[in-house]
Amino acid sequence: MRAVWLRDFGAPTELHAEDTPEPVPQPNTALVDVAYANITFVETQARAGTGPFHPTLPTIPGNGVGGVVRAVGDGVDPALIGTRVVGSTGGSGGYAEVALVPIDVLYPVPDTLALDAAVAVLADGRTASLLIEAATIRPGDRVLIEAAAGGVGTLLIQLAKTAGATVIALAGGPRKTDLATALGADQAIDYRDPAWPRQLDEPVDVVFDGVGGATGRTAYEQLRPGGRILTYGLASGQWTAVPEDEARERGVTVVRPTAGPADLRRLTESALRAAADGTLRPVIGQRFPLERADAAHAAIEARSTVGKTLLLTGKTVE
C-alpha cells in the first residue's frame, strides 16, 4: 500500500508517500480500505514538532479515516466486512490506503450520508457538539466563534444557531467571512483588522476559543460579566492567557471541555445522524491526493483553507 511517512520533524516537505507493508488485523480491530483521511490543524503542529502532541518518529500521521471494512480481527463480528465506516486510528496510521481501526471507535456510516461528509464530521462534529453542550447556550445568547471558517467553526455556527444564539463569526479575509455568513452567522468580522472589537454592538455571552494567543485574549475581553469562554485549541501556537483570579474578578467562567469514551461515542453518533438528516452540513473546502499530503499541510498552515481538508486515496467505495 501507499502511506505517508514522517521521519523528521519540520516543514510539510518532510511528509513522503512510500510503499509500505499493509497492517494485519489485530484482536478487536477492523482493517479498513481507506478512501478518505481527515487532516486536523493539530496534525500540522505535530509534524512541525510544535503543539501539544509529539509523536515518536518515524510515524504515519493521521487519526481519522473513512472507507470499507476489508477484514476483522478476533473478537469482531465478521458481518462488518463490506460495511462503510469511519473511525479513529489512535493517533497514527491514517494517511494510508489501508488502516487499522479499534472496534470501540469504529462507526458505521448512515446510508443517506456520503462517506466524505462522514469523515468531515468524525472529529470536528464531536468536538463542536461537545463544545455546544458544555456552553449551555440559552436562546438570545451572543456567541463569538473564532476560526469560524474552519472545520470546527463552520459546524459551531450551525449548532449555535440551532440553539437560538446570535452568532458573531471571526475569520480571516472576505472569502472566510462570506462563508460564515452563508452558514447563518448574524455578523462576520475579519479579525485581521486589529480594531475588530469596535464592530461589536455589545459584549458577548460565550466565546468559543480555538485560536488562543492574542486573538483568544482579545475575544475573552469582549465577554460580559457572567460570560463563558470555552478554550479548545491553540491554532496561534499558544493557549489564551486567562489567569483564574482575573476571570473570577470579572465573573467569567473558563471552560475546558473534556469527555470520556462513552460521551465521545454518543457525540460522534449524534453528529453523524445530524449530518445524515441534513441538520448539520460539513464544509469540505479542499481535497488533496494522498501523495500530496505535504501540499495539504502547507495550505492549512498558510491559513488558505476553509472547512475540512481531506486526503483522497483514489479508492472508490460508495
Q: What is the CATH number of the domain that holds 144?
A: 3.40.50.720
Q: Determine how many CB atoms are found less than 10 A away from the CB of residue 136.
A: 11
State whether 204 and 299 are in the same domain: no
Distance CA 36, CA 314 (A): 8
Q: Computed from CA positions of residues 130, 101, 90, 60, in that sequence, does the dihedral angle turn out positive or negative?
A: negative
* Residue among 242, 187, 210, 7 nearest 128 (CA): 210
In tens, the pLDDT along 214-240 reads 999 999 999 999 999 999 998 888 999
CATH number at residue 92: 3.90.180.10
In tens, the pLDDT along 39-50 reads 999 999 999 999
Residue 186 pLDDT > 80, yes or no? Answer: yes
State whether 61 and 82 are in the same domain: yes
DSSP tag of 227: E
Number of domains forming the structure of the chain:
2
The answer to whether the CB of 275 falls within 8 A of the CB of 109 is no
Question: Element (H or E) spanning 166, and its range?
Answer: strand 166-171
State whether 150 and 84 are in the same domain: no
pLDDT value of position 316 = 80
First to last CA, the chain: 20
Query: What is the span of the domain harbouring residue 199?
Result: 123-255
State whether 44 and 153 are in the same domain: no
State whether 193 and 250 are in the same domain: yes
> How high does pLDDT run on average in the chain?
96
State whether 101 and 129 are in the same domain: no
pLDDT value of position 92 = 97
| Domain boundary residue, one of 240, 255, 270 | 255
Neighbouring-strand partners of residue 288 = 311
pLDDT value of position 139 = 97
Q: Determine how many CB atoms are found less than 10 A away from the CB of residue 165.
A: 26
Cβ neighbours of residue 243 closer than 8 Å, sequence gap 6 or more: none
State whether 69 and 164 are in the same domain: no
Residue 318 pLDDT > 80, yes or no? Answer: no
| Domain boundary residue, one of 236, 255, 274 | 255
pLDDT value of position 298 = 98
The answer to whether position 268 is within a domain reads no
In tens, the pLDDT along 96-128 reads 999 999 999 999 999 999 999 999 999 999 999
State whether 138 and 199 are in the same domain: yes
Amino acid at the residue 191: Y
On whether the pTM is more than 0.75, the answer is yes
Residues shown for the chain: 318
State whether 170 and 230 are in the same domain: yes
The answer to whether position 272 is within a domain reads no
